[in-house]
Amino acid sequence: MRRHAPDALLHTDAVQAFCWTDIAHITRNADLVSVSAHKFGGPKGVGALVARSSATVHAVQLGGGQERERRSGTQNVAGIVAMTVAARLAAAERDASIERLGALRDRLLDGLLASVPDIVETAAVYVDGVSDRTQRAAGIAHVCIAGVESEALLFLLERAEVFASAASSCASGAMEPSHVLAATGLDPELAKGSLRLSLGWSTTAAEIDHALTVIPGAVAQLRRFNV
């Protein structure tokens, strides 16, 4: 990008990255990097924009000139402090958290593959015919389930307090099968049963077990209606 558009500013949305990788290498190469506290255990409504001194950022609101005259208004000091503490803890515990969540994700996927017929694990990297889940983010489990449609499945899961999605977080509410799944060559009918389950810092083993209790029953219920 620097070669083709040397004057362009590069902004990186690192909101999802903070818990999974050291973003220092991102901040070295980007002009602007944004993070959000609630993704790593901090309070909602607090975030940070890391900007190079050479990056021109125009004021989004006028007033007292706070935030280096970029965002006027009284700062949320308590929120800023809480975010700082959460960020330090998340960085210090990152490796242990990835290991813990990876184990929970594997428990979830293995349980679904064992209990739900005609289910496909997607985003898998295969080495010698075996799925190598170390090559993917620890906090995402994605499957496609034959014979059900995502929106109907999500309705039943939500009633049982299992909150999931049919698509990526940036495509929340989308009803059409994912264009990404289509590009991988996945059967369009199978893609209609797309299910994404996300794990985070607060996810517990009990919640995984609850999902493994609820999801097979919901799938079976929908398949009975589809016969």
pLDDT tens, 154-196?
999 999 999 999 865 555 555 566 777 777 778 888 889 999 9
Handedness of CA 108, 125, 198, 137 (dihedral sign): positive
Amino acid 126: pLDDT:
63
Q: Tell me the CA distances in angstroms from 170 to 13, 15, 180, one per residue in order.
A: 12, 12, 13
CATH architecture of the domain with residue range 95-226: Alpha-Beta Complex (3.90)
**CATH, domain 11-92, list 3.90.550.10, 1.10.287.70, 3.40.640.10, 3.40.50.300:** 3.40.640.10
Going by pLDDT thresholds of 50, 70 and 90, the confidence category of residue 125 is: low
Q: Tell me the CA distances in angstroms from 146 to 18, 110, 133, one per residue in order.
A: 34, 17, 22
pLDDT surpassing 90 at residue 38: yes
* Range ranked top by mean pLDDT from 4-13, 27-36, 83-92: 83-92
pTM of structure: 0.80
For the chain, percent of residues with pLDDT exceeding 70: 92
Phi/psi at 20 (5° precision): -110, -15
Residues of the chain within CATH 3.90.1150.10 domain(s) are 95-226
Going by pLDDT thresholds of 50, 70 and 90, the confidence category of residue 129 is: low
* Range ranked top by mean pLDDT from 10-24, 51-65, 122-136: 10-24
Tell me the residue ranges of DSSP E strands in the chain. 11-13, 32-36, 47-51, 119-121, 126-127, 130-131, 140-145, 194-198
pLDDT surpassing 60 at residue 29: yes
Q: Specify burial of residue 35 (Cβ count, 10 A radius: 0-12, 13-18, 19+).
A: buried
Give me the catalytic one of 5, 130, 170, 227.
170
Query: Which whole number is the average pLDDT over 65-81?
Result: 87
Q: Is 170 a catalytic residue?
A: yes
Evaluate whether 173 touches 165 at the Cβ level (below 8 Å): no
pLDDT surpassing 60 at residue 97: yes
Of 39 and 26, the structure prediction assigns the larger pLDDT to: 39
Residues of the chain within CATH 3.40.640.10 domain(s) are 11-92
**3-class SS at 175?**
coil
Amino acid 124: pLDDT:
64
- Bridge partners for 195 per DSSP: 143
Amino acid 205: pLDDT:
97
Evaluate whether 79 touches 174 at the Cβ level (below 8 Å): no
